């Protein structure tokens, strides 16, 4: 006659299975770096910043001449160094939309929200992780582009150093702006839940709206233009403010307001809608 031995069940500590903000943040961090597109796109953004800024400085001519392309009309070394910022913001924005909307296209969002029923920590974690990484990459790219172009501009009237008034603020502002672009893109991707739709909305908001505003009557267009997301963001990293533009602080406040508005819309839809 055999004896059946019953082992006591292993008790699980409920705290080990509890969903916390830190655990959601770590999960989103791991998911972001598991994507090959993250490495590729951030690398592309960094290369575009560095390459465009370096080439603009190398091709700079005090008399203008036949120089064409980004930075051709630059009036200072910072503007030359940031010649590639439009390309970089597109790369960073596209990746932000993919990080958010890509889960909806693959259906993986169901697993994510099943693990985090309260939903909103997922959005905050995606935005925080990607925004921080985009800001660091962009800042490194902006500083590297400025330093790489400094040798080519040595002796020219527009030559500047990191210690020159406003230079470091502008370069750090460029990194901060692109970090906020990343957060903005994550919010748009979550809001529209479509990669194509999110990218289209991002491009329209940052790049097409200023062009369309230029078609308005001059008085109305001049009143609206400084407060558009792309134009307000450009004020953050401009070394010298053009006429009818915001100061760096005001531009940052306005653009951050647009980002918060997009995040609020994304949070509302995420909380109210099914996956």
202-217 b/e (C-beta count within 10 Å ≥ 16 → b): beebbeebbeebeeee
* Alpha carbon distance 41, 92 (integer Å): 7
Give the integer Cα–Cα distance in Å for 254 and 231.
10
Question: Which residues, other chains included, contact 103 with Cβ-Cβ below 8 Å and sequence gap of 6+?
Answer: 109, 112
If one counts every other C-beta atom within 10 angstroms of the C-beta of residue 149, the result is 25
User: Is 102 within 8 Å of 199 (Cβ atoms)?
Assistant: no
Place of tokens 């609020």: 264
Residue 95, both tokens:
């990746």
pTM above 0.85, yes or no: yes
Mean pLDDT of successive 10-residue stretches along the chain, which has 275 residues: 45 57 90 92 95 90 56 75 94 96 89 88 95 97 92 78 91 97 97 95 93 83 90 93 88 97 96 74
Phi-psi region of 39 (alpha: psi -120 to 50; beta: other; left: phi over 0): alpha
pLDDT the model gives residue 180: 98
pLDDT of residue 149: 87
Q: How would you class 148 by CB atoms within 10 Å of its CB: exposed for 0-12, middle for 13-18, buried for 19 or more?
A: middle
Residue with tokens 């809608």, as numbered in its chain: 273
**What is the rounded CA–CA span in Å between residue 182 and residue 218?**
32
Residue 35, classed as helix, strand or coil, is coil
Query: What is residue 71's three-state secondary structure?
Result: coil
């Amino acid at each position: 006659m055999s004896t059946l031995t019953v082992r006591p069940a292993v008790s699980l500590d409920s705290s080990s299975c509890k969903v916390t903000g830190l655990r959601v943040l770590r999960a989103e961090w791991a998911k972001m770096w598991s994507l090959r597109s993250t490495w590729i796109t951030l690398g592309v953004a960094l290369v575009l910043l560095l390459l465009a800024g370096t080439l603009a400085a190398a091709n700079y001519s005090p008399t203008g001449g036949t120089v064409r392309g980004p930075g051709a009309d630059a009036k200072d070394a910072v503007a030359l160094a940031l010649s590639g910022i439009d390309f970089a913001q597109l790369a960073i924005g596209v990746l932000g939309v993919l990080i958010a909307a890509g889960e909806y296209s693959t259906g993986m969002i169901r697993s994510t929200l099943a693990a985090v029923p309260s939903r909103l920590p997922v959005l905050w974690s995606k935005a925080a992780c990607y925004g921080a990484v985009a800001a660091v990459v962009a800042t490194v790219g902006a500083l590297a582009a400025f330093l790489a172009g400094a040798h080519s501009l040595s002796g020219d009237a527009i030559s500047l150093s990191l210690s020159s008034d406003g230079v470091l603020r502008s370069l750090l502002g460029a990194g901060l702006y692109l970090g906020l672009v990343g957060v903005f893109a994550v919010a748009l991707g979550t809001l529209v839940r479509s990669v194509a739709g999110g990218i289209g909305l991002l491009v329209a908001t940052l790049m097409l709206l200023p062009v369309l505003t230029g078609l308005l009557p001059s008085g109305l267009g001049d009143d609206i233009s400084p407060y558009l997301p792309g134009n307000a963001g450009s004020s953050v990293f401009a070394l010298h403010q053009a006429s009818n533009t915001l100061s760096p602080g005001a531009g940052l406040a306005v653009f951050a307001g647009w980002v918060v508005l997009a995040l609020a819309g994304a949070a509302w839809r995420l909380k109210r809608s099914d996956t």
